[in-house]
Chains A and B, each alone.
Chain A
Amino acid sequence: MPANGTITPSTLSVKDLPWQILWDLDKCTLCGKCTAVCPVNAIELGVFRKRIVEAPLGIAVKPAHTYKVYYGIRQKTDPAYRCVGCAMCSMVCPNDAIAPVRSDEASKLVFHMDRGGQPRRRGGRRNAPGTLLDRIKFIRISMLTDPALDAGRHEFELRTLLGRILPPEENIDFFNRHGWIPPVREIYPLVIGGMSFGALSPNMWEGLQMGVAYLNDELGMPVRICTGEGGCPPRLLRSRFLKNVILQIASGYFGWDEIIHAIPEMKVDPCAIEIKYGQGAKPGDGGLLMWYKVNRLIAAIRGVPPGVSLPSPPTHQTKYSIEESVAKMIQSMYMAWDFRVPVYPKISATSTSLAVLNNLVRNPYAAGLAMDGEDGGTGAAYNVSMDHMGHPIASNVRDAYLNLVALGKQNEIPLMAGGGIGKSGNLAANAAALIMLGASAVQTGKYIMQAAAGCLGSESDRCNICNIGLCPKGITSQDPRLYRRLDIEAVAQRVVDVFLSFDTELKKIIAPLGRSTSLPVGMADALGVDDYHISQRLKIKYVV
């Protein structure tokens, strides 16, 4: 705003903003790169007038003043152009003259992110750093056993099972009676969770898929990746890489007619079908792909005309009870591939998860249950949903697992846990904790964006503009001018690096347990936590 204008209730100063641009006049060479790269036009060239008044000591001669004009980088204070802290300006600055810094004052912007009565929407995840998972320690170190295992050099069996696993006698009996047993897949226990073609840029999506294909083809790691809701490119559907893919069907059913058309031409079956009922980042809410991200490409894959907003309903519209939801959808999806492909639902972690789980236990077709906790990420959601809704994943998985134990069905119906795994960078430790709490596999999305593509978002509300198509790294943008910043092969390589190092770290955790022949699913006696109440709640050891 002008230095002396009228103000409105939403007129803010730089001091009021959560991210402030520090700019150094002495270092700046006015190259223009920072303003050119800023995704949200938060900075601009400023013309500054500087007055110098000179009064000689003793005022021996008359004081004089002069003006001079200088140029520099100015931060806008209009909330519509707020700095999001992405620091792309710092990245391009040749002279280290500019950087966003977090204000030492509580943000006043938060009170004005509702222009036109529209509550704030954003990408990212719950703005609360850290996770309970980070506090869980692996306290059982079996260092004297023989063979003592070396994570880097020994052979481990880390694969997990996705699909309904019946006990051998039941399995034979089932087969004799039905002529069919549920399909089961052996997969790597770290699954790349559902991120749609649309939420992600074409380069990001292809990079992830290529990296997964490499892990499978070159390294023999059966890593799987879920499409998210938004269809699947026709070429992938008709390729042998489809075996790496978990196709997601959600309440908008986007892209599913294209998938149905492709079924007769598929070379291989997909790994599995995930029925999304909810996601951890925005429980009770559907996808929010806005029209400006729906270009011709997205539209073709989703089977819709370009330039229309594509919100998904909060629920599947033709189901009226858990029983019906689960039975009907699972049956339908099994039928599409002649009962060869496992089908499992994914729900937001919730205090009512056990109701769903118990239903699945009674349904021999249910291939598993994916539960997504409150710390999951998303490309677009209402801030209030992200920050205040959802259930922590650890206790939800634990409850579900112990419930299965009580029913004698543990490991028969695999639990897949997601939501905040690797939130603080501790991907393997968080994954191992959830596995030992009872998950057969874990899903991660946000970590992959951060590690494989350099996503700048954080739980300190940095960047988090995935929803407006201006991702400075090109991860969530549909604009070639942005997503071409992302090198497909480099993303694929990073996916490979992430999984290889995860693999070693996971072994480093489970090797001292003396486990190498199977994943320590539910091996909670190896877990400890330094909080008594948490230990009681999760039924793990209290260690201080």
Chain B
Amino acid sequence: MSDNIYHRISGKENGVRIESRVLEEKIQQAVADGRRFIEVQAFGQHGIGGRLWRAGDDTVTVRIGGYPGQRVGAMGYANTTVEVLGPASDDVGWLNAGARIVVHGNASNGVANAMAQGKVYVAGNIGARGMTMTKHNPRFSQPELWVLGSVGDYFGEFMAGGVAVVCGVDAQDPENVLGYRPLVGMVGGKVFFRGPIKGFSHADAKLIPIADADHRWLVENLAHFLEAIHRLDLLKSLSERRQWQLLRARSAQEKSGRRLTSMAEFKNQVWDAELGRGGLIGDLTAIERGPIELVPSGEMRRFVPLWENRKYLPPCEGTCPTGIPVQERWQLVREGRVDEAVDLALAYTPFPATVCGYLCPSPCMQACTRQAALMAPVDVKQLGRASIQAHLPELPPLSGKKVAVIGGGPAGISVAWQLRLQGHEAVIYDLSEVLGGKIATLIPSTRIPVDVVSSELERIRKVLPHVHLQQEMRREDFLQLAADYDFVVIATGARKPRILDIPGAERMLTANDFLAAAKHNDARIGKQVVVIGAGNVGCDVASEAFRLGAEAVTLIDVQEPASFGAEREAAEAAGAKFRWPCFTQKIVAEGVKLSDGEILPADTVVISIGDVPDLGFLPETIATERGFVTVNEFGQTSDPRVFAIGDVVKPGLLTEAIGAGRRTAEAIAEMLAGKRPTTNLRQVIDKKRITLEYFDPRLTEFEDLDHCGSQCSSCGACRDCGVCVNICPQAAISRVEPDGGGYEYVVAADKCIACGFCAGACPCGIWNLVENDPID
């Protein structure tokens, strides 16, 4: 093309460089004036050759000599061809929107940055960050960058579209035609290259085979490129397909699917391979360590439920000095076996009606779990009174072993009774005219119907036919008994009244004498009575005194009276007055003179400050302390074949005397069998384990035995209610009946998750959640 068609514009005027703005105005004016071939002599001006929209559809050619500044062809239009005759500065074809730009020398950094359409041809090498942030707008054909030599560092950074072709001819770096870290952040487009490279961003791009279509496109367009830079001589050598490689951007899906070794693979192939089977501590432990679920069943449960039926004593039984299984009796009642419930008592006491039904202050009821929730305790008195009907069990044949029991009160009868139930002969020796001790002789008939006592004594005589009454006991008698019998049990009680050693003591009546006489209604009593000693016996005295005609009874004590229960209530109801502290100085004709000088007027003065044992018959081999016999937990004295029980050991309740007799009988039976005596090691259940929410808290009275039984929570003993089976969320609990009889509740470990619901719901406190055995 002839040079003279070019309109020449110089970058200098009058020898002075003109501003980029002025040069731009000249170029734009020339285009507006219809010039379509423009030659610019550049002196570093910016952005030459871009934005020539004023030419409309006409093509415009801008030829640039001299030294173009940055951004040649920036924002170039599709109608424009820019030709730089020498090298070019930075950002050739910046934001190119369609121009064809040919650089006949090298181009520095930023070639084709942000190019969207058009072509940039470079006949040499280019600097850093070429073909960066280029795009392909689907409305137009894709942009192209052709470089004959090599490209600088960070080539194709953030490239989002278009094609770059790097021919590698006379490369600036023959070892690496794509520069350092090319294609970082590339998301679109392709790069053909020819020659060695030193890596590219594998996270963003991948090498792909050159398809036939790719190669056709390459060769076809290579001809245009080489023609534009006047190097068609290279066409043949550059067309050789196997010298080319092709990179393309990874798709978003390919990027997210970036293949890293999975941790499982790493564990198997690297970790365990280096450390050995079982990993870090496979040499130290064989414990399985794979993941388990949060709420496991079976062996991996942290806790396990245990059906602890009868492991602990119910509070009633545990508190009863006699040891009667109260709860078990109520269970029999609930099961409709009232007769058995009644009869069961005789295995524990010869006085179930007399004591349980009337005279006992009932520690079992005080201990009843229901009391803890301020609910009325199950009424054992009803069961006690019903026991008058209890049937004797069949007595076993006699073993030939014989035990002498000195004393026919509740303790002596109890031990003899129990021995006989075990098949040993027990012979009672008593001083009194009647069997029964204080029950028969001293306790007022107002507190216990006479027929109840006599009925039970009758039953006792059937079991114990050998009773020697009115037997004085001297030391030699005792020694003879010890010689004649296998064992001797001392149960003589405390029958010697304590009296005060004060002037006028002879004017006093002892409580025992008074009560014994009162029992036969032949006690003489004045109108005004003072009772010294306001304990329960004193209360009995007061009640009896009123019954026999007294008008005023005053009970005095040196401290707050210890009397309680039925005795106290009866005395108060009859009108007795209690005074304390009162210290008696002497007894005078007018009454009781206190240490402060006051005289309490009295026709009759009764002393009731306790009784002490009469131990005159004991040999020195039997140790005593302060007037009472010393014993161990089985009632055994310092003579191993002699036992002592009841008030002769320590003053106490009737039930305590009966219980002592039972324990001693058990010990003797065991010793007779050649064994060491043992104690019951079962502990009383923790009341917190019992659930009382199943019962009516407003209940204050029990209609009958069945009603009582239904309200017993059956502490520590399964009542077979089945709550656990139903509350268990895993259906892990079932009721089974073993061949040996009875029933039990069992847990299927493979179902149980140890939630503890069974323990929480159980009314009886049977289920317990305990820690599982450690895995170590």
> In the bound complex, do residue B263 and residue A236 qualify as a contact, i.e. CB atoms below 8 Å apart?
no
> In the bound complex, do residue B755 and residue A32 qualify as a contact, i.e. CB atoms below 8 Å apart?
yes
> In the bound complex, do residue A155 and residue B181 qualify as a contact, i.e. CB atoms below 8 Å apart?
yes
A217-B270 CB under 8 A given contacts A45-B755, A45-B756:
yes
Complex-state Cα separation, A296 to B287, whole angstroms: 11
> In the bound complex, do residue B275 and residue A236 qualify as a contact, i.e. CB atoms below 8 Å apart?
yes
Q: Does A532 contact B (CB under 8 A)?
A: no
| Closest beta carbon of chain B to A340's beta carbon, Å | 21
Complex-state Cα separation, A47 to B274, whole angstroms: 56
Q: Which residues of B contact A217 (CB under 8 A)?
A: 266, 270
Q: Which residues of B contact A492 (CB under 8 A)?
A: 263, 266-267
> In the bound complex, do residue A479 and residue B302 qualify as a contact, i.e. CB atoms below 8 Å apart?
yes
> In the bound complex, do residue A482 and residue B693 qualify as a contact, i.e. CB atoms below 8 Å apart?
no
The interface bits of chain B over 315-348 (1 if a CB of A lies within 8 angstroms of the residue's CB, else 0) are 0000000000000000000000000000000000
Q: Does B288 contact A (CB under 8 A)?
A: yes
Q: Which residues of A contact B697 (CB under 8 A)?
A: 49
Interface segment, B10-18, B44-52, B292-300? Answer: B292-300
Q: Does B395 contact A (CB under 8 A)?
A: no
CB within 8 Å of B: which A461-506 residues: 479-490, 492-493, 496
> In the bound complex, do residue B727 and residue A71 qualify as a contact, i.e. CB atoms below 8 Å apart?
yes
Number of A-B contacts (CB under 8 A): 183
Q: Which residues of A contact B282 (CB under 8 A)?
A: 235
A480-B289 CB under 8 A given contacts A32-B730, A92-B294, A233-B280:
yes
A488-B691 CB under 8 A given contacts A36-B753, A480-B287:
no
Q: Which residues of B contact A5 (CB under 8 A)?
A: 372
Interface segment, B24-32, B35-43, B735-743, B768-776? Answer: B768-776
Complex-state Cα separation, A63 to B745, whole angstroms: 42
CB within 8 Å of B: which A312-356 residues: none
Per a CB cutoff under 8 Å, which of A2, A154, A234, A489 touches B263?
A489
> In the bound complex, do residue A45 and residue B263 qualify as a contact, i.e. CB atoms below 8 Å apart?
no
> In the bound complex, do residue A233 and residue B281 qualify as a contact, i.e. CB atoms below 8 Å apart?
yes
> Which single residue of chain A is at the shortest CB-CB distance from B763?
A47
A296-B729 CB under 8 A given contacts A71-B761, A218-B266, A488-B289:
no
A205-B263 CB under 8 A given contacts A45-B760, A480-B288:
no
> In the bound complex, do residue A235 and residue B294 qualify as a contact, i.e. CB atoms below 8 Å apart?
no
Counting contact residues on chain B (CB < 8 A from A), the size range is: 35 or more
> In the bound complex, do residue B727 and residue A45 qualify as a contact, i.e. CB atoms below 8 Å apart?
yes
> In the bound complex, do residue A45 and residue B761 qualify as a contact, i.e. CB atoms below 8 Å apart?
yes
> In the bound complex, do residue B374 and residue A4 qualify as a contact, i.e. CB atoms below 8 Å apart?
yes
Complex-state Cα separation, A41 to B287, whole angstroms: 26
Per a CB cutoff under 8 Å, which of A3, A33, A203, A301 touches B289?
A203
> Which single residue of chain A is at the shortest CB-CB distance from B374?
A4
Q: Does B290 contact A (CB under 8 A)?
A: yes
> Which single residue of chain B is at the shortest CB-CB distance from A306?
B776
| Closest beta carbon of chain A to B586's beta carbon, Å | 47
> In the bound complex, do residue A31 and residue B271 qualify as a contact, i.e. CB atoms below 8 Å apart?
no
CB within 8 Å of A: which B250-302 residues: 260-261, 263-264, 266-267, 270-271, 274-276, 279-285, 287-292, 294-296, 300-302
Q: Does B184 contact A (CB under 8 A)?
A: yes
Residue total for A at the interface (Cβ-Cβ under 8 A): 71
Q: Which residues of A contact B289 (CB under 8 A)?
A: 202-203, 480, 483-484, 488
> In the bound complex, do residue A32 and residue B729 qualify as a contact, i.e. CB atoms below 8 Å apart?
yes
> In the bound complex, do residue A487 and residue B291 qualify as a contact, i.e. CB atoms below 8 Å apart?
yes
Q: Does A542 contact B (CB under 8 A)?
A: no
Complex-state Cα separation, A31 to B727, whole angstroms: 9
> In the bound complex, do residue A36 and residue B271 qualify as a contact, i.e. CB atoms below 8 Å apart?
no
Complex-state Cα separation, A32 to B279, whole angstroms: 35
Q: Does A291 contact B (CB under 8 A)?
A: no
Per a CB cutoff under 8 Å, which of B275, B279, B693 touches A48?
B693
> In the bound complex, do residue B302 and residue A235 qualify as a contact, i.e. CB atoms below 8 Å apart?
no
Q: Does B628 contact A (CB under 8 A)?
A: no
Q: Does A69 contact B (CB under 8 A)?
A: yes
- Interface centre among A296, A489, A493, by most chain B C-beta atoms within 10 angstroms, is A489
> In the bound complex, do residue B184 and residue A37 qualify as a contact, i.e. CB atoms below 8 Å apart?
no
Q: Does A285 contact B (CB under 8 A)?
A: no
Q: Which residues of A contact B217 (CB under 8 A)?
A: none
Q: Does A458 contact B (CB under 8 A)?
A: no
Q: Which residues of B contact A487 (CB under 8 A)?
A: 290-291
> In the bound complex, do residue A30 and residue B729 qualify as a contact, i.e. CB atoms below 8 Å apart?
yes
The interface bits of chain B over 746-776 (1 if a CB of A lies within 8 angstroms of the residue's CB, else 0) are 0000000111110111000000000010111
| Closest beta carbon of chain A to B760's beta carbon, Å | 3
| Closest beta carbon of chain A to B486's beta carbon, Å | 51
Complex-state Cα separation, A3 to B284, whole angstroms: 51
> Which single residue of chain A is at the shortest CB-CB distance from B299?
A481
Q: Which residues of B contact A44 (CB under 8 A)?
A: 756, 759-760
Complex-state Cα separation, A490 to B301, whole angstroms: 23
Q: Does A401 contact B (CB under 8 A)?
A: no
Per a CB cutoff under 8 Å, which of A47, A203, A241, A490 touches B694?
A47
CB within 8 Å of B: which A75-91 residues: 88, 91
Complex-state Cα separation, A419 to B263, whole angstroms: 30
The interface bits of chain A over 33-66 (1 if a CB of B lies within 8 angstroms of the residue's CB, else 0) are 1111100010011111100000000000000000
> In the bound complex, do residue A206 and residue B291 qualify as a contact, i.e. CB atoms below 8 Å apart?
no
> Which single residue of chain B is at the shortest CB-CB distance from A205?
B280
Complex-state Cα separation, A152 to B203, whole angstroms: 11
> Which single residue of chain B is at the shortest CB-CB distance from A5?
B372
| Closest beta carbon of chain B to A150's beta carbon, Å | 7
Complex-state Cα separation, A239 to B272, whole angstroms: 11
Q: Does A300 contact B (CB under 8 A)?
A: yes
| Closest beta carbon of chain A to B678's beta carbon, Å | 34
> In the bound complex, do residue A37 and residue B295 qualify as a contact, i.e. CB atoms below 8 Å apart?
yes
> In the bound complex, do residue A234 and residue B283 qualify as a contact, i.e. CB atoms below 8 Å apart?
yes
> In the bound complex, do residue B774 and residue A484 qualify as a contact, i.e. CB atoms below 8 Å apart?
no
Q: Which residues of A contact B372 (CB under 8 A)?
A: 2, 5
> In the bound complex, do residue B292 and residue A485 qualify as a contact, i.e. CB atoms below 8 Å apart?
yes
Complex-state Cα separation, A273 to B605, whole angstroms: 95
> In the bound complex, do residue A47 and residue B760 qualify as a contact, i.e. CB atoms below 8 Å apart?
yes
> Which single residue of chain B is at the shortest CB-CB distance from A493?
B263
A45-B757 CB under 8 A given contacts A203-B289, A234-B284:
yes
A479-B280 CB under 8 A given contacts A36-B753, A46-B760, A69-B693:
no
| Closest beta carbon of chain B to A328's beta carbon, Å | 32
Per a CB cutoff under 8 Å, which of B185, B274, B728, B774 touches A240?
B274
> In the bound complex, do residue B373 and residue A4 qualify as a contact, i.e. CB atoms below 8 Å apart?
yes
Q: Does B154 contact A (CB under 8 A)?
A: yes
The interface bits of chain A over 143-156 (1 if a CB of B lies within 8 angstroms of the residue's CB, else 0) are 00001001011110
| Closest beta carbon of chain A to B339's beta carbon, Å | 32
Q: Which residues of B contact A154 (CB under 8 A)?
A: 184
Complex-state Cα separation, A29 to B288, whole angstroms: 33
Q: Does B506 contact A (CB under 8 A)?
A: no
> In the bound complex, do residue B756 and residue A481 qualify as a contact, i.e. CB atoms below 8 Å apart?
no
Q: Which residues of A contact B774 (CB under 8 A)?
A: 295, 479
Could you name 29 residue pairs across A and B whose Cβ atoms are closer than 8 Å? A2-B373, A3-B373, A29-B729, A35-B760, A36-B301, A36-B755, A37-B295, A46-B760, A49-B694, A49-B697, A71-B761, A153-B184, A154-B184, A214-B266, A218-B260, A219-B260, A234-B283, A234-B284, A235-B282, A236-B280, A240-B274, A241-B275, A295-B776, A479-B775, A484-B292, A485-B294, A489-B264, A489-B267, A492-B267
4 tightest Cβ-Cβ pairs between the two chains A and B: A32-B755, A45-B760, A49-B693, A32-B729
**Knowing that A2-B372, A36-B753, A490-B291 are A-B contacts, what are 19 other residue pairs whose CB atoms are under 8 Å apart, sorted by A's residue number?**
A30-B727, A35-B756, A35-B760, A36-B756, A48-B693, A67-B696, A147-B154, A153-B201, A202-B285, A202-B289, A213-B271, A217-B270, A239-B275, A240-B274, A296-B285, A301-B284, A479-B774, A486-B291, A489-B264
Binding site for A on B (CB under 8 A): 154, 157-158, 181, 184-185, 201, 204, 260-261, 263-264, 266-267, 270-271, 274-276, 279-285, 287-292, 294-296, 300-302, 372-374, 688, 691, 693-694, 696-697, 727-730, 753-757, 759-761, 772, 774-776
Binding site for B on A (CB under 8 A): 2-5, 29-37, 41, 44-49, 67, 69, 71, 88, 91-92, 147, 150, 152-155, 202-203, 205-206, 209-210, 213-214, 217-219, 233-236, 239-241, 295-297, 300-301, 306, 479-490, 492-493, 496
